[in-house]
Amino acid sequence: MFQYKMIASSQKMSRMAHFSQTYRYAEASVLDVGWQSGNGLQLRLATSSPATLSHPHFFEGRLHQPQLVAQLLSAVHLLVGSRFFTPANSVRQAIALADPVVTAGAGMLRFEGFSACCSTYIRIDMEPQAYAGEVVSKGTTNIDFNAPMRAALARVRDADGLALSVGRSEFALRSGGAEVVEKKVELPLRWLRSMVAVQAYQAAMHKVLEVGAVPALRFLRSLPKASTSKTPLWVVAGPQGLRTTAQSDTGGVRFTDSSRLRVLQGLLPHAQSLTLYADAQGQASAWCVDFGALRLTLVLSAEVWRGFSGEGQALHALVLAGDTHPASAVRAQLHWQDVLQADVLAQQIGWPQPAVQQALQVLGASGLVGYDLVHHAYFHRELPFDLSLLEDLNPRLADARALLQTGAVQLVTASPLEATVQSADVSYRVREHGGLLRCTCPWFAKHQGERGPCKHVLAAQAFVATSLP
């Protein structure tokens, strides 16, 4: 018999840019392996709630597929410890970013995180059918999955059993008399920016392809093992299931760098199917592996150099969220639901469905909801950060509001929108063309709206929203 236990400090500090965020925990979390009572393995995860009342314990249960769950958690550790892109003229730094966010609520358990370069997002969803247990309360926390933790998970076997307890303060690993203490891991600003941006991408995606686990595994094994090519490929339906082509295909899914998909290969033998999703512009793709009551979702940015932290797809919704917007009414309906449907919420609060859909986008950009592609709906979870720091996560939004305060916007026409925006002694022209708001600034010339609106477009939108009845 041997026991593993991981212990951390009572506070976790996240220094993001010029501000810091403190996380306080009530008691320790543990991973006990093979205790003498014969109950198998028990994993207890640290929790921190942004509410005034802390939740020292909000879930405890026994997993029905211990080894598979351990492999999925190891996949999270592997992904968040990976870097797929290093900027030119810079030295790669060994920064510990393996700090997944864990959510418990409405019977769901979710683990989510990003690669070190923020170009790849991973989430594990555990449905109530995946465990036997009880959700005592709800909450979100961030925990550290370090190398000793992964080593312990690698030893998990189905015969041992695995119990999960979410709601303790720290995480430690112990073998016999030896104890490993986790490092304090900062929750970086890039992660928070990425976490709110990736929800907007998922909400805009549609299902493109679905195959069984066997053809999916065959497809992944056919990809070059050392592919870090920046050349985009399209996944399309083939005679044997899936294949790649270098030709742009509207019926396919665009992606680059197949090394980001390696985390799926060892898991597919246990899966039922693989479903691919994409947005209409091909700016991101999602790879969802179904294990029944367990799911793994992998979201890739269009290029490895494009971290989700630099995207701004939800900024349109944020800048239009004024006092008359139903975001506050929708937020009042949040009770850790695992499915938030816009049509149902619209009936509950008496607002038009499009306005409620926009409100959900605002809440997603505020870290208050995530998006589940399988359910085609948002779910309530609160990222562990102070919502008053929202503008620090969106500098373009802050810049746009600063332009408004200085009277930089001169409206020409409201519909279609046309305006001039004075910025740094230069006058830029914003106008709507073909349903897209365009700007004459260098940002728009470089990205063509693919990475969200520039500050001048946001300022023009906000001016119309606040000045016209």
Whether the predicted pLDDT of 193 surpasses 60 = yes
How deeply is 455 buried, as exposed, middle or buried, from its count of CB atoms within 10 A (0-12, 13-18, 19+)?
A: buried
Q: Which domain holds residue 435?
A: 394-467
Task: Taking the CA atoms of 306, 309, 314 and 315 in sequence, report the sign of the dihedral they define.
Answer: negative
Q: Please give the tally of structural domains in the chain.
A: 4
Q: Are residues 181 and 245 part of one domain?
A: no
Q: What is the CATH number for 287? A: 3.10.150
Which band of pLDDT confidence, cut at 50, 70 and 90, is reported for residue 26? very low
* Pair (36, 178) in one structural domain: yes
**pLDDT for position 276:** 97
The residue-averaged pLDDT of 99-114 equals: 82
- Whether residue 423 lies inside any domain: the answer is yes
* pLDDT value of position 136: 59
Same domain, 285 and 368: no
- Any bridge partners for residue 386, and if so which? none
* Chosen domain end from 163, 186, 209: 186
My answer on whether 286 and 332 are in the same domain is no
Please indicate, yes or no, if residue 156 is contained in any of the structural domains. yes
Lowest pLDDT segment from 77-91, 118-132, 337-351 = 77-91
Please give the average per-residue pLDDT across 366-386, as a whole number.
86
My answer on whether 220 and 349 are in the same domain is no
Q: The whole model's pTM is what? A: 0.80
% of the chain surpassing 70 pLDDT: 70
**What is the band of 21 on the pLDDT scale with cuts at 50, 70, 90?**
very low
For residue 105, name the pLDDT band (cuts at 50, 70, 90): confident
Where among 241, 276, 310 does a domain terminate?
A: 310
Confidence of residue 424 (pLDDT cuts 50, 70, 90): confident
Residues 82 and 123 in one domain: yes
Question: Three-state SS string across the chain, please?
Answer: CCCCCEECCCEEEEEECCEEEEEECCCCEEEECCCCCCCCEEEEEECCCCCCCCCCCCEEEEECCHHHHHHHHHHHHHHHCCCCCCCCCCCCCCCCCCCCEEEEECCEEEEEEECCCCCEEEEEEECHHHEEEEECCCEEEECCCCHHHHHHHHCCCHHHCEEEEEEECCEEEEECCEEEECCCCCCCHHHHHHHHHHHHHHHCEEEEEEEEHHHHHHHHHHCCCCCCCCCCEEEEEECCEEEEECCCCCCCEEECCHHHHHHHHCCHHHCCEEEEEEECCCCEEEEEEECCCEEEEEEEECCCCCCHHHCCCCHHHHHCCCCCCCHHHHHCCCCCCCCECHHHHHHHHCCCHHHHHHHHHHHHHCCCEEEECCCCEEEECCCCCCHHHHHHHCHHHHHHHHHHHCCCEEEEECCCCEEEEEECCEEEEEEEECCEEEECCHHHHHHCCCCCCCHHHHHHHHHHHHHCC
- Answer with the residue of higher pLDDT: 233 or 149: 233
Residue 164, pLDDT > 70, answer no
> Residue 147: pLDDT above 50?
yes
Span 384-398, average pLDDT? 70
Question: Is residue 48 a part of any domain in this protein?
Answer: yes
**Is the residue at 1 inside a domain?**
no
As a whole number of angstroms, the distance between CA 283 and CA 302 comes to 5
- Selection from 100, 107, 142, 105 nearest residue 122 by Cα: 100
Single-letter amino acid, residue 390: L
**Residue 184: pLDDT band with limits 50, 70, 90:** very low
171 part of a folded domain: yes
**Same domain as 219, residue 120:** no
Comparing CA positions, the residue from 465, 463, 460 lying closest to residue 419 is: 460
Q: Give domain status of residue 440, yes or no.
A: yes
Over residues 205-257, the pLDDT tens digits come to: 999 999 999 999 999 999 877 655 678 999 999 888 899 999 988 889 999 99
Angle (CA) 314 318 322, round 5°? 155
Average pLDDT over residues 340-364: 89
Look up the CATH number of the domain holding residue 363.
Answer: 1.10.10.10
On whether residue 343 sits in a domain, the answer given is: yes
- 215 lies in the same domain as 284: yes
Which of 271, 292, 310 is the last residue in one of the domains?
310
Residue 160 has pLDDT above 70, yes or no: yes
365 within domain boundaries: yes
Q: Is the pLDDT of residue 3 over 90?
A: no
pLDDT of amino acid 383: 76
Q: To the nearest 10°, report the CA torsion of 319, 323, 325, 330.
A: 110
Q: Give the least confident one: 215-224, 386-395, 411-420.
A: 386-395
> At 118, which CATH number?
3.10.150.10
Q: Determine whether 207 is exposed, middle or buried from the number of CB atoms within 10 Å of its CB (0-12, 13-18, 19+).
A: middle
Amino acid at 282: G
Q: Which of 259, 345, 350 is nearest to 300 (CA)?
A: 259
What's residue 214's pLDDT? 95
Average model confidence (pLDDT) for the chain? Answer: 77
Q: At what angle do helices 353-365 and 342-349 cross, to 10 degrees?
A: 110
Same domain, 177 and 37: yes
**Residue range 128-136: average pLDDT?**
77
**Residue 275 clears pLDDT 70, i.e. is over it:** yes
Whether residue 119 sits in one domain with residue 93: yes
If asked whether residues 53 and 178 sit together in one domain, one would say yes
Residue 6: per-residue pLDDT: 32
Please tell me whether residues 336 and 400 are part of one structural domain.
no
Strands 369-372 and 162-168: unpaired
Q: What is the pLDDT of residue 41?
A: 52
